[in-house]
Amino acid sequence: MKNNKVKVIIMSGYGLNCEEETKFAFESAGGKADIVHINDLIENPKILEAYNILAFPGGFSFGDDTGSGKAFANKFKNYLQMELDSFISRDTLTIGICNGFQIITNLGLVPGALAHNASAMYIDRWVDMEVVGSSPWLKGIKKISLPIAHGEGRYIIDEKEYKKMMKNKQIAFKYTKGEMCEFQNLKANPNGAMHDVAGVLSESGKVLGMMPHPERAMFFHHRPDFQLKKEIAKRKKQKLGDEGIGMLLFKNAINYFKK
Amino acid sequence: MISRIYVSSIGEDSRANVAANSWNALGLNGKVTKAKFIDSYLINADLSDTQIEKSANQLINSRLENFSINNLPDLSGFSYIVEIGYAPGVTDNVAHTVMEEIADALARPFTDKEAVYTSKVFLIAGAITEEDVNKIALSLHNPLIERSLIIKTSKLPKGNANLSLYVPEVILPKKDAFITVPLSTLSDDALMKIGKEGILDPDGTRRGPLALDLTSMKVIQKFFSSLKRDPTDIELESLAQTWSEHCKHTIFANQIDDIKAGLYKTYIKGATNTIRKAKGKKDFCISVFSDNAGGIIFDDKYMVTHKVETHNSPSALDPFGGAITGIVGVNRDTIGFGMGAKPVANLYGYCFGYPEDERALFKDKNLKNKMLSPKRIMDGVIKGINAGGNCSGIPTISGFMRFDDRYRGKPLVFAGTVGLIPRKINGKLSHDKEAKPGDYIVVVGGKVGLDGVHGATFSSVVLDSASPATAVQIGDPITQKKLSDAIVKEARDLNLYNSITDNGAGGISCSVAEMAKECGGAIVDIEKVPLKYPGLSPWQIWISESQERMTLSVPKDKWNEFKKLMDKRGVLAVAIGEFTNSNKCVVKLNGKVIMDMPMEFLHNGLPMRELHTKFIEEKFAEPKLPKSNSRTKELINLLGSANIGSNRFVSEQYDHEVQAGSVLKPLSGRGNINTDAQVIRPVLSSQKGVVLSSALYPSYSDISTYDMSACAIDAAVRSAVSAGATLSELAILDNTCWCSSYDEHRLAQLVDAMRACYDTAVAYGTPYISGKDSMFNDFKGYDEKGNSVAISIPPTLLISSISVMKDFKKSVSPEFKVAGDAIYVLGGTHDELGASEYFKMIGKEGNAIGNNVPKVNTKVNMATYKALESAIDKGIIASAISVTSGGLATALAKASFGGMLGLNVDVKDIAGIATNIDAKLFSESQGRIVVTVANSNIKAFEKVMKNVALSKIGKVSKDKNFIIKNGKEKVVDTKVDTLAKAYNSFSEKNK
């Protein structure tokens, strides 16, 4: 493993649509990422054995028909359950972003479920989060601001389970008021998620599900306040870096295998 | 066996709460106390009880939902049930997914006779009357495409209640496969009737408009008499499609007055040719007007494409379906560009009647056929683009909304898509494509039904009671996404086909006939086309506009590989015939020839006709100007008006960040103001950016369509340059939406508009690369009292721009950044308030819109834009906002609350000839930009601007006071927050 690049498999097909930029982010972080259509994986499930990281990217798999993530998860369960179990039982990392999060809750990889936003509207905006949980994905991150774009992101969990998850450091992120909310005068919790939960972890901490999109914050210029920051930096004769805060997650994942 | 699976939420369902509130807003005054949503899946398949239960388990997430089979959930407390399902034959996207899930889970495919039908069941609680429920049901569905069922819960048995097991199948009557139309024996009147109302079916009904006039019908009659036979129905329908205004653009092609080559060749293509010639080696166009979109150079490796479509008539009848079909349709124009471009940005533009307008319009005299209200159309269209864009994974970057009373008869819905394609694929230029004789004609994507039969001919006529319901279609973005990915991301680079085009207007009748031009002919076995349901006649299959289909020419030796790939991607692909070089377009039904048409007559048989114009001048009253010296109230009212207020609620519900290319977003700054231009970075490894903008001034048409067009071009160019575009690499697109286009005055207005298109584009060196027209945006019907009403839209030209900038990081956003910065106005402000938003507001009584419409001085403006481009390149501009509708005061206000900073300016000595304060603040003179500059950059800035009419008017302030002075007098004195609130009020109200 030491001399080889960390291998990432990114699922695609049936309306998933963030696979290309997710690949770009993993590769910028030093990994080697392959986009694999679910039907190709079904045809050749053994290939999963060669990967370190499994990513379910964002998108609109099956158009959210019958509930977001459900149909894609059903396909996975109906054809790939065994291979998935075996992947998870190895020392691997898994991430589900947005629609990917909805898929992995339906697969039972992380607890809870995602329901329609409290406003019943789709929304694209930025959110601020504090990191609450503990996971290789989150190493060294205390707070982070990322964009969301979803219609079904209201996290649902029962109280008992939530307490257990808090104790076990399985609540990855919580929405909070931070610099983006301040900048654009937004409320902290964009969708009515219970306990402001934005992302959660499996018991092992190795599977991360999150509504916000780290790959859409992989560059500094993605930030809504980029133009202001750029102008201020210019006057202070400072140079802004290219990299955005979202890269931290991808780098953490790749570096985990380089330990 | 037929079963119903009901799925309902366990916990709180936010959709139901929001719905209950919206129902109470229908005038029910809080009578609805509770609502519950249930999803119903009616399964008509030979499945055992265990299999049904297993299927039901696929449809729930047990944390969120539970199910019941053939038994409605607990109804206690609810007084009514409303069920909304699709009308037979209407695309049911969810049902397709459900069938795939069930087939997977049971390892058993559905047979042809089996199907799933979804519906939504609403339980309603509260002391509501039958009339109230009817209102609710009407708000929930569009009878054109959906059916509703209302049941009083007290009428249902206690316990074990189930809804009807009615299967909404399409059952078409058996009829002859094709008929011959006895043209040779028909009188002129009978020919006209066929042209207007359609071919007479044996049952005595007419098939719907062919939109062929008498001259065309007689040419067809003569042609077939020379063949010594009568045409078949499919031949006549095919000609009607290919010759339709929608496909042939006859008004733009024919001689008009002494303009022999017609408007398109003279003014639009003419402008592009002149500009490209002048640019010589610096010409950045690659493919213009010849393909589904236009393409320009992005860099050495890539080309970017752009296309903007209109989808007006379908959106009037079914706003959601019309809009979603519009956006996924224009996506296909991109996928069908060259060998297939990847869509990287969506754009929208809406022209509606005012949402608060509740006056009813009817299509028929008996007042049975009611048009949808502007608000209903607006909501449906917004949702349609939401579903189409968001589901496809294409960022919806730009958009606008315009309102005018005259759009209430027919709204305008623009949908555009930018694409990205390598300039060379497998060593060949990607925009060259050619179907070869012997290639299979392959149709990929959806199946064919009656949806969209006569869409192309329908959009070429006035909207009235003869408008066919089947002209409406519903798009399925996921079917198309699968198709798009399989083509653009895989088959294209594997070199599996020789040519590709979109199936849009006219369906395969147009796409096959178009591609057949590349090789010289085609032969189609019509029975091979996959159908949604049995019983369609060949002519219907041939012209149906069922969505999500593309036509490809696949070499025989590549077919197996192509088919295998499509199968693996869940994309339907069928070979329906062969391309030939026979000079004929032939259709066979089970081996029998039913259409045998020379390519020459099909494509070039349409008779030319000469058009004439007659201009009728109109003068308008000048409005009374306010007496007091303050214009604070006027500015606040303008900012809250529909045409200037924020569209934030739309921008926020459209995903504009997918693909990770967003740079300058639809909303900007602390104040989330709508941007006039947006920047994306379509290639994540490149520093280059693509700048997009659009502009239109339909109100100016009342005074001068020449100036209306010139201003639209000027504003689109100006907004793009203000954001950082390179003027020498900026291309434009025209969307001409006209009305009553055979009327001589309207034609005169059209000629004026096109002259302006030529003059202005040539002056700026901005070539047209693509365009679209929609010439009959008229409504003829009746008002609430049965009086006849005719409403025509104001002649509307939308100009969209696309340009490439070297370094996206140099883009500039519109809002103020730093207190203390100097505020400048570039360009002159003149007495040009005619048809401005300000005059429309204060002169509302008596339509006193004035007459001094803004004129574009391209020479002066060109110097300004070049200087601005240079200043932006030097990085010495902190903000730049183009002055558009609402004038200088509006631009200052937006920049101010965009950055949540105040200002203190004096407009007394601004450049230009503005004789009063109204003109200074609200004139819409073109060529102006408000910019802010850091004090340290003032010297450098003023040097760059030495040849520009430059007015330094004041400073950005830290406090939130917004003060505009005219000399010593404060003419606007307010707070930034007050202005922001006014600006956002339109968005808040329509959320």
Which of B102, B134, B155 delimits the end of a domain?
B155
Cβ count within 10 A of residue B310: 25
Report in angstroms the alpha-carbon separations of B935 from A252, B377, B824, B880, B962. 43, 49, 12, 16, 20
User: How many residues does this entry show for chain B?
Assistant: 991
pLDDT tens for each residue of B491-504:
999 999 999 998 87
User: What pLDDT shows up at residue B374?
Assistant: 94
Residues 6+ apart with CB under 8 A from B157: none
* DSSP states of B852-883: ------HHHHHHHHHHHHHHHHHT--SEEEE-
> Is residue B90 situated within a structural domain?
yes
Cβ count within 10 A of residue A229: 16
Chain B from 665 to 694: CB within 8 A of any A CB = 665, 667-670, 672, 684
User: Is the Cβ of B873 closer than 8 Å to some Cβ of chain A?
Assistant: no
Answer whether B835's CB lies under 8 Å from B702's CB: yes
**What are the chain A neighbours of B11 within 8 Å (beta carbons)?**
115, 156
pLDDT tens for each residue of B685-696:
999 999 999 999
Query: What is the second-level CATH architecture of the domain A7-256?
Result: 3-Layer(aba) Sandwich (3.40)
CA B867 – CA B874 distance, rounded (Å): 11
Domain CATH code at residue B964: 3.90.650.10
Name the strands in the sheet holding B302-310, side by side, starting at the edge strand that comes first in the sequence. B285-287, B294-297, B302-310, B412-422, B342-352, B396-403
Element (H, E) at B37: strand B32-44
User: Is the Cβ of B808 closer than 8 Å to some Cβ of chain A?
Assistant: yes
pLDDT beyond 80 at B485: yes
User: What pLDDT shows up at residue B454?
Assistant: 67
Q: Confidence band (pLDDT; 50, 70, 90) for B711?
A: very high
Q: By percentage, how much of chain B surpasses pLDDT 70?
A: 98
CA B723 – CA B715 distance, rounded (Å): 12
Mutate to test the interface with A, among B36, B92, B101 (most CBs of A within 10 A): B101
* Reported pTM: 0.94
Report in angstroms the alpha-carbon separations of B981 from B646, B896, B987. 10, 13, 10
Q: Look-up: residue for tokens 């390519």?
A: B599
pLDDT beyond 90 at A20: yes
Residue type, B630: S
What is the domain range of residue B149? 2-155
- Structure tokens given for B84: 């909304």
pLDDT beyond 90 at B462: no
CB-CB under 8 Å, A219 with B660: yes
Mean pLDDT value of segment B26-52: 92
Residues 6+ apart with CB under 8 A from B159: none
Chain B from 37 to 66: CB within 8 A of any A CB = 39, 58-61, 63-65
Mutate to test the interface with B, among A62, A102, A215 (most CBs of B within 10 A): A62
Mutate to test the interface with B, among A194, A228, A234 (most CBs of B within 10 A): A228
Mean pLDDT (chain B, rounded):
92
**What are the chain A neighbours of B875 within 8 Å (beta carbons)?**
234
Which of B103, B123, B155 delimits the end of a domain?
B155
CB-CB under 8 Å, B101 with A18: no
Residues 6+ apart with CB under 8 A from A218: A21, A24, A25, A28, A243, A244, A246, A247, A250, B660
pLDDT tens for each residue of A48-84:
999 999 999 999 999 999 999 999 999 999 999 999 9
Domain CATH code at residue B124: 3.30.1280.10
Which of B120, B155, B190 delimits the end of a domain?
B155
pLDDT tens for each residue of B113-165:
899 999 999 999 999 999 999 989 988 887 777 889 999 998 888 777 888 88
Of A15, A62, A120, the CB nearest to B14: A120
> Is residue B776 situated within a structural domain?
no
User: What sign does the dihedral B955-B961-B962-B964 (CA atoms) show?
Assistant: negative
User: What pLDDT shows up at residue B470?
Assistant: 55
Q: Domain tally for chain B?
A: 2
Question: From B101, which residue of chain A is nearest by alpha-carbon distance?
Answer: A71
User: Is the Cβ of B603 closer than 8 Å to some Cβ of chain A?
Assistant: no
Instruction: For chain A, give every domain's residue range.
Output: 7-256
Report in angstroms the alpha-carbon separations of B75 from B18, B31, B62, B79. 20, 18, 21, 8
| Burial grade of B534 (CB within 10 A; 0-12, 13-18, 19 or more) | exposed
pLDDT beyond 70 at B468: no
Mean pLDDT value of segment B79-87: 91
Q: Confidence band (pLDDT; 50, 70, 90) for A1?
A: very low
- Estimate the crossing angle of helix B214-226 against helix B188-197, to 10 degrees: 110
> Is residue B280 situated within a structural domain?
no
CB-CB under 8 Å, A39 with B569: yes
User: How many residues does this entry show for chain A?
Assistant: 259
Q: Confidence band (pLDDT; 50, 70, 90) for A2?
A: very low
**What are the chain A neighbours of B659 within 8 Å (beta carbons)?**
18, 20-21
Name the strands in the sheet holding B146-152, side by side, starting at the edge strand that comes first in the sequence. B65-69, B2-9, B32-44, B115-126, B80-86, B146-152
pLDDT tens for each residue of B762-799:
999 999 999 999 999 999 999 999 999 999 999 999 99
CB-CB under 8 Å, A37 with B568: yes
Q: Which of B322, B292, B320, B321 is nearest to B306 (CA)?
A: B292
pLDDT beyond 80 at B465: no
Mean pLDDT value of segment A198-211: 98
